[in-house]
Amino acid sequence: MAGLRAMAEDEQRDKHRQRVLKGATILTGVSNSEVTCTLRNMHAGGAELKISIDARVPDEFLLYVPTDGIAYKAVVRWRREDRIGVMFTGTEPKPSWHYG
């Protein structure tokens, strides 16, 4: 029974996610470093990111999406090889040190 409920929740969750292919940049304040990534799907509360398999990504960061003109505050919820699932906790202006 629990397995069926989990499948139903996954199906419901997938309906609310919009598949996208947007370029984005993970901005970390530690050394003002940047990691390029691709948004694979996105919804109001978070996104799935595709990153380089050897990229070092902290548990919290700003995700700047140039096509949206928004920097999302992101918290990592899960990691799998070259994918990261993040939850958005807010937005803020693009940092002045970011060139994009």
Q: Are 13 and 6 in contact, with CB atoms under 8 Å apart?
A: no
Domain count, the chain: 1
- 49 pLDDT above the threshold of 60: yes
**Residue 84's domain is classified under what CATH number?**
2.40.10.220
Domain of 72 in residue numbering reads as: 19-92
> Both tokens of residue 85?
């699932």
Q: Is residue 87 part of a domain?
A: yes
78 has pLDDT over 70: yes
Q: Is the pLDDT of residue 80 over 60?
A: yes
- Whether this prediction's pTM lies above 0.85 is answered by no
What distance lies between CA 35 and its chain's CA centroid?
12
> For 15-41, how does the pLDDT look when each residue is reduced to its tens digit (9 = 90+)?
466 777 789 999 987 666 889 999 999
